[in-house]
Amino acid sequence: MSNRILDHIGIAVRSLEERVPFYRDTMGLALVGYEDIAEQKVRVAILQAGESTIELLEPTSEDSPVAKFIHKRGEGVHHLAFKVEGIDALLQQMDQGGLSLIDRCPRDGAHGKRIAFIHPKATGGVLTELCE
Ligand code: CMX
């Protein structure tokens, strides 16, 4: 198996404006930029942390999965994302193995990546993303 790296950690926040200063100014992470991901109903701030990034996720509508998460559990770590190669084949393999997938086919994520989520119920409570 290839040496998979942690692509990013997603953190749900109520307000990017309120939370970016901690990561950028206090922790000293470079702010890579902001992006609207309409399909996911979030606006993200991306901060570089070594080879990985931190994605702060602010919901842009009340029916965003991140708005639901914050409403239920408060702000905090929302998902882990691993960089993979051959995401389509990997998803097919996981699906055939009986893993509970949120996405059987990849969808569009930040930075032009193709992403898919594995349900937290199947992973011990951690929403897990594959991205390519
Ligand atoms: N981490 C861990 N558990 C989570 C979770 C998360 N991020 N989000 C929801 N859950 C848990 C809930 O607490 C709940 O658990 P209980 O049944 O024990 O209460 C259960 O999963 C179901 O949650 P829900 O509030 O009823 O929400 P839904 O079932 O409607 O949706 C999920 C949950 C994970 C399927 C949905 O949030 C989803 O599809 N997420 C993937 C998409 C996403 O999060 N996009 C934003 C990120 C964008 C990006 O990075 O590009």
d(C-alpha 122, C-alpha 106), whole Å:
18
Name residue, tokens 């702060």: 56
Q: Which of 62, 68, 101, 108, when mutated, tests ligand 1's pocket best, judged by the most ligand atoms within 8 Å of its CB?
A: 68
Q: Which of 117, 119, 126, when mutated, tests ligand 1's pocket best, judged by the most ligand atoms within 8 Å of its CB?
A: 117
Q: Is 51 exposed, middle or buried (0-12, 13-18, 19+ CB in 10 A)?
A: exposed
Token digits for 70? Answer: 């914050």
Question: For residue range 51-104, what is the model confidence (pLDDT) as tens digits?
Answer: 999 999 999 999 999 999 999 999 999 999 999 999 999 999 999 999 999 999
Sign of CA dihedral 94, 78, 5, 54: positive
The pTM assigned to this predicted structure is 0.95
Taking the chain, what is the end-to-end CA distance rounded to the nearest angstrom? 16
The alpha carbon of 65 and the centre of ligand 1 are apart by a number of angstroms equal to 6
Token digits for 100? Answer: 């509970």
- pLDDT-derived band of residue 2, with 50, 70 and 90 as boundaries? low
